[in-house]
Amino acid sequence: MNGTFDTEDLWALESCLTTHRLSNGVLYSAITLFFYDLCLTIDMEIRHIWTARFSVGLVIYIGSRYLGLASCIVSLLPISNLTSNLTVCIRVLAIIAAEMTLAVRTWAIWGRNRIILGILIAFTIGALVPAAITVARDISTKSPVTVSETIKRFCPAFVDSGVGNMWAVPYLMTIMYELVTTSLSLIRICRWRRRIPNTHRQHVLQTLYTDGMLYFLFMLGLGAVNAALVIKASAPELRSNVTQLQTSLHSILSSRIVLHLANSGHRVKELHSTGSTVAPGGAQFTSIFTSPSEELTTFAVTNR
């Protein structure tokens, strides 16, 4: 209370300031990366998304893209229980929307196969349940991190919860989910690469393969980092801001999955219709809901 530091306070202050500086660097990098990518891809979004007719896929895209944007903005607000809980909820919803993009893409690649749909639903539920339980517990146990009055004058306060190592469970379940969707997509894409001539499969298959692999590898790496940070319970602020980096990359890569294929001018469903041709088209993936007379595209990116 008298403003002097003992050895324990000095160690605590050094640790707090180091973690705060590193976590701020991660946070600002995540936000800068998101807005940089937004500037690079906004022209494609205007062409292919803003003029699209309403569909389920359009809602998923908007959720992934703009919940990611919202998470960046909310992360910059002053720290409190309210802003911390709001940030957690927005980040989780953004990641769910991004994973739904990957799931719909996988289902489309498999031609809306019911067995694949069942597998995806099962793993979706398996990933969502622990995430919902963890978020609910995180919100109910949120409180400011306790530090001495001497340290508080120099190091910003931070809000943490009593979840602790439980956060590792949804991270690991997300990694497992992405492993399943990526594996299913690669199996189908590899079959197409053997069956469809190079001249016809070059653009669309390369887009499907590259975007899928980039998404999986980035998310695998960040998921592993977050799981490791969960175990290191002494760095909750750093863990939170690495989660923002993961959210930003989820939003960026899932949006690019849609935009790249839309910009290529091909339809995934054309790979199912013929074994040797890939005709130009304007739609994204195949549909979630169809009728005998009309197909409702999941990502209706054709200009209307």
User: Could you report the per-residue pLDDT of 109-165, keeping only the tens digit for each?
Assistant: 888 899 999 999 999 999 899 889 988 888 888 777 665 665 666 666 667 677 777
Domain boundaries, the chain: 23-297
pLDDT at 6: 62
Contact predicate 64/97, CB 8 Å: yes
Average pLDDT, the chain: 75
Q: Any bridge partners for residue 165, and if so which?
A: none
Q: Which residue has the tokens 């969707």?
A: 181
| Percentage of the chain modeled with pLDDT above 70 | 69
Alpha-carbon span 130 to 167, nearest angstrom: 9
Model confidence band, residue 18 (pLDDT cutoffs 50, 70, 90): confident
Per-residue pLDDT, 233: 56
Of residues 151, 146, 273, the one with CA closest to residue 204: 273
Question: Can you tell me which residue has the tokens 């695998």?
Answer: 220
Higher per-residue pLDDT: 38 or 195: 38
Please compute the mean of the pLDDT values over residues 300-304 and round it to a whole number.
40
- pLDDT tens-digit readout, 235-290: 677 777 888 888 998 899 888 888 887 776 655 555 555 443 333 333 334 333 33
Which residues lie below 8 Å from residue 131, measured CB to CB, with a gap of 6+? 92, 96, 170, 173, 174
Give strand pairing partners of 295: 290
Query: What stretches of 151-265 adopt beta strand conformation (E)?
Result: 159-160
Say whether domain 23-297 belongs to CATH 1.20.1070: yes
